[in-house]
Amino acid sequence: MTVELAPAPLFTGSDWDFSLINRIHDTIEPIALQEMKLNIYPNQIEIISAEQMLDAYSSIGMPLFYKHWSFGKQFVTNEMMYRKGLRGLAYELVINSDPCINYLMQENSATMQTLVIAHAAFGHNHFFKNNYVFKQWTDAEGILDYLEFAKRYIAQCEERYGQLPVERVLDAAHALMNQGVHRYPRVRPRDLKAEAAREAERQAYRDRIYDDLWRTVPSGAKADAIPSDARRAALGLPQENILYFLEKTGPLLQSWQREILRIVRLIAQYFYPQRQTKAMNEGCATYTHYRIMTTLHERGWITDGSFMEFLSSHTNVVYQPTYDSGQFGGFNPYALGFGIMSDIERICREPTEEDREWYPEIAGSNDAMEVLKDIWANYRDESFVSQFLSPHLIRQWRLFKILDKQGESELRVDAIHDERGYRRIRRSLAREYEIGRQEPDIQVVDVDLAGDRKLIVEHAVLDGVQLDAGDAAMVLQNLANLWGYEVLLREVDSETRKELKSHSAQPNAAWLR
Amino acid sequence: MHIVDRRLNPGGKSLVNRQRFLRRARAYVQQAVRDSLKDRSIKDLDKEGQISIQRDVIHEPTLHRAAQGGSRERVFPGNHDYMEGDRIKRPDGGAGAGSKAGQGEGNDDFQFALSREEFLDLFLDDLELPDLAKRRLIGGAVDGIRRAGYSTAGNPSNLSVPRTMQKAMSRRLALRRPKGADLARIEEEIALIEARDPPLPDDAVRLEALREERSTIIRRRNLIAYIDPVDLRYRRFETVPKPVAQAVMFCLMDVSGSMTEHMKDLAKRFFALLHLFLTRCYEHVEVVFIHHTDRAAEVDEQTFFYSTVTGGTLVSSALDKLIEVVQERFRPDDWNIYVAQASDGDTMQSDNGRVVSLMQQDILPFSQYFAYLEVGREEFADIESIGTTTGLWQAYAPVSEANRNFVMRKVHHRREIYPVFRELFQRKGVAERSS
């Protein structure tokens, strides 16, 4: 391919203006789209100030959100950390929407703006548009409209029913947010625009069929007890999405309360893919910016000085402290993602004998970019690590696996970076990214319909790790309040089915009123 | 690709959430604000500040797996010399192998910063000057705004659309402006006649008349505007002087030799709070500072809070000074007069009679409220409360019983200042809530 060299660098100092941003974008675009063949949503670049970045932080990065005190709490924390200089702010923030919104901080130098555009506007953007988890679960086109609807709806509820009752429902829903996600995809893709329309329709229907007379009709005779299997089937049990279950079957909830549960649930669902693809998403963006920045430098679009500035920043981002360095706080998703992806590129270009044995399909493949793009589209963190963490990398990072068995007084080193350990380390690290292991498996299993309507929830305990008791009690109280009757949470060992512990909570009578 | 410059967008998007957060944790934040006070210097009383509240108050629980117990496996980077099968002693903190530091999710307090405004709001919440009764007009200083009908000229933002349309309509009716419907009817008829084939005999004449009529209508419609500048009406506002409650607060402080540094600090803190409260919550309150030894002097704020004069004690001198200033500058008919006095209660027996009579005869009749704050030694906190009372306290006790507008309190420690201050200036009817 003939490569066009830059007539002059794009910029020399650290200052930038809007026309420079435009030129940077236009220089990067052909590299990303034609050479790397990325497939992206149209970009919208927004320049924001530090204060606006703080605002965005506290509404989970979204440009608009409903009002709730917990976002205020976020805000005051971030603000203090920032003002005290304990924590810097991100250089950018990117939203999975169509068009893809990239927030750039005004404080960034010209080099950083280039890096950030490459990273977010092309790297993250490509990942959002192509990764199957995002495709399956999120509606990039509808999210902003839906958030707008959610904000308006909750404001209306506050006007109509008072701030406090709405806040209570939101508090309870937030507590159960992680249990408000469908983990297995349904056939129908989400259409958030239709959601808003549907709620309006439902409200209109309720208004139309409302007849005060119904209130005076005596309630019917008691139904016969239903056999438990039929009952569970009718209620759609067992159900892992507790918010969904409450929304559909909660006996005492008002329709607006159900709608609020739904809003929280759908937003949780929107963020669900991000939690499963953190390392891949960051890896993809980091790999992209690295490729683009290197290319820009090779062709003379950026100066040696700003390339050095980029390298220093890049090195910080992908730094992985070792376990005994005192800074270790788990794996750095940037380092993990970028490390594995660079390694894949190496395997494609210059495979060793070992690589050929481990990765016969990709070793020596000519087009590393195609291989990577396929991976970006079809994997999430867990499968990505379990397939592509190579022995080379395990040795390079000197990974080892520690086993902490219940009842044993000492920890055991179960595997190290040797022939016997590669697979075990890889499997174990992959499991750390398995969402089913990060989060407890909690399901609604039964309701005592004939009796006191007690709701029975079960936690399938893995490896004997139980729930944090203090928090569990608080969440359970919220659950009982929403359900309106007693709630029982049983912690049952997933293998032996032995009950290890149980918590229960009674609803707070004043809560729903 | 679009570039949008959002920097000019109004900030403060999180303000509502921030307020809600403060409201939610209000009781605790308020407590923290009040606690933080005793560690602040007098100068910094009203500064913005960092406060910390217990984390569990605003904890957001989730269902998550406990940090302890059960079997776990984890992968770490950076192996040096571990071999497979090695056994390692469990690090402190139980099962959480490796470093948990830096995650910052402990049970430590939740810290954040309050702005000066927020700080003062929380701090001075529910306080008021009692019995602010005398309201009168003072020369045009304060204006209220009230509606005053409509005018033909004004600011576009004050344009009254309904009134303007009403005027326009009556003008159109009065001048008989042809309606659009009339024009349409004639156009229709013309079209009908023109389309007639073959034409009737009198069609030509009729058509001529109709055309004539049409041009008249069009002309009239052009001449008589739908809305004319003469129709415009603007909402008018005028300013009115509003009666305002004028108040003056006298701060009387004993700075005699018997007052220890500790007592002076207490007294100054009290007055600093009072001053803060008055300047923040009341626009029209004057503050007069008087300090006294065996002689009293009216001083400015700076001297009052920071001077170091000392000497004997003659309480009546301060009361005399107070009466003198009132007679000179603050006519009791026009002013709401408040007095706050702080002293260690040490006084000359011989002076007490005069103090009481000045109080009963002169001061209390013209005062809305008189608060006496007795500052004591920190170490005597318990002893004094049991029985020994000071000369001034004894002298004031019967006065307090006889007069509802005289209140006396004792403080021994910094931490008591704020509660006592609140007690003295609590808005009526909220005492139970915030106690």
Structure ipTM: 0.78
Contact B73 A439 (CB under 8 A): no
Which residue of A323, A425, A426 to mutate against B (max B Cβ within 10 Å)? A323
Contact A327 B102 (CB under 8 A): yes
Query: Nearest C-alpha of chain A: how many angstroms from B134?
Result: 39
Which residue of B75, B79, B99, B115 to mutate against A (max A Cβ within 10 Å)? B75
The distance from CA A169 to its chain's CA centroid, rounded to whole angstroms, is: 23
Write out chain A's pLDDT in tens, 513 residues: 556 777 888 888 888 888 999 999 999 999 889 888 899 999 999 888 888 888 887 777 777 888 888 888 888 888 877 777 666 667 778 888 888 888 888 888 889 899 989 999 999 999 999 998 888 877 777 888 888 899 999 999 999 988 888 988 998 999 988 888 887 765 455 567 777 777 788 888 878 777 777 777 766 555 555 567 777 777 777 788 889 988 888 888 888 999 999 999 988 888 888 888 888 999 999 999 999 999 999 988 889 998 999 999 899 888 888 888 877 888 888 999 999 999 999 988 888 888 888 888 888 887 888 889 999 999 989 899 998 998 998 988 888 888 888 777 888 888 888 888 888 888 888 888 887 777 888 888 888 877 788 888 888 888 888 888 888 888 888 888 888 888 999 888 888 888 888 888 888 877 755
The distance from CA B260 to its chain's CA centroid, rounded to whole angstroms, is: 35
Of the candidates B78, B88, B102, which has its C-beta nearest A322's C-beta?
Answer: B78
Write out chain B's pLDDT in tens, 435 residues: 788 888 887 777 778 888 888 888 877 777 777 777 766 766 666 667 777 777 767 888 888 888 777 788 888 888 888 888 888 887 754 444 443 333 333 446 777 777 777 777 777 776 777 766 666 655 545 667 888 899 999 889 999 999 999 999 999 999 999 999 999 999 998 898 888 888 788 888 888 999 999 999 999 999 999 999 999 999 998 887 777 777 888 888 888 877 787 888 888 888 888 888 877 777 777 888 888 888 888 888 888 877 777 777 888 888 888 888 888 888 888 888 888 888 887 777 788 888 888 888 888 888 888 888 888 877 665 555 545 677 788 888 888 888 888 888 888 887 788 888 877 877 765 544 433
Of the candidates B73, B89, B113, which has its C-beta nearest A83's C-beta?
Answer: B113
Helix (H) and strand (E) counts in chain A: 22, 9
B119 & B195 share domain: no
Helix (H, G, I), strand (E, B) or coil at A457: strand
Residue pair B248/B330 in contact (Cβ under 8 Å)? The answer is: yes
Question: Which helix (H) or strand (E) element contains residue B292?
Answer: strand B285-292
Decide if B254 is inside a domain: yes
Of the candidates B63, B84, B88, which has its C-beta nearest A472's C-beta?
Answer: B63
B402 & B266 share domain: yes
Decide if B356 is inside a domain: yes
Claim: this prediction has a pTM higher than 0.80? no
Return the exposure string of A79-118: e unless at least 16 CB atoms fall within 10 Å of the residue's CB, then b: bbbbeeeeeebebbbbbbbbbbbbbbbeebbbbbbbbbbb
B379 & B330 share domain: yes
CB-CB neighbors (< 8 A) of A439 in chain B = 64-65
Contact A175 B89 (CB under 8 A): no
Which residue of A47, A76, A144 to mutate against B (max B Cβ within 10 Å)? A76
Decide if B11 is inside a domain: no
B225 & B259 share domain: no
Contact A465 B63 (CB under 8 A): no
B146, β-bridge pairs:
B238
CB-CB neighbors (< 8 A) of A55 in chain B = 11-14
Contact A323 B60 (CB under 8 A): no
Question: Which strands sit side by side in the sheet containing B87-89, from one edge to the other?
Answer: B72-76, A400-404, A410-415, B87-89
CB-CB neighbors (< 8 A) of B99 in chain A = 323, 326-329
Decide if B390 is inside a domain: yes
Q: What is the pLDDT of residue B42?
A: 64
CB-CB neighbors (< 8 A) of A409 in chain B = 90
Cα separation, B404 vs B385, whole angstroms: 23
Q: Tell me which of B188, B216, B236 is where a domain ends.
A: B236
Contact A398 B58 (CB under 8 A): no
CATH number of the domain at B379, please. 3.40.50.410
Query: Nearest C-alpha of chain B: how many angstroms from A510?
Result: 18
Which residue of A40, A328, A405, A491 to mutate against B (max B Cβ within 10 Å)? A328
B119 & B171 share domain: no
Decide if B75 is inside a domain: no
Those residues whose C-beta lies under 8 Å from the C-beta of residue A138, and which sit 6 or more positions away, are A96, A190, A269, A270, A273
Q: What is the pLDDT of residue B85?
A: 82
Question: Which helix (H) or strand (E) element contains residue A373?
Answer: helix A368-378
Cα separation, B421 vs A197, whole angstroms: 56
CB-CB neighbors (< 8 A) of B82 in chain A = 400, 413, 416
Contact A323 B98 (CB under 8 A): yes
Cis peptide before A99 (omega within 30 of 0): yes
Q: For chain A, what are the domain ranges?
A: 18-131+277-310, 318-436, 437-505
Question: Which helix (H) or strand (E) element contains residue B290?
Answer: strand B285-292
Contact B3 A429 (CB under 8 A): no
B206 & B349 share domain: no
Contact B58 A409 (CB under 8 A): no
Domain range for B23: 16-57+110-123
Of the candidates B20, B66, B69, which has its C-beta nearest A406's C-beta?
Answer: B69
- Count: domains in chain B: 3
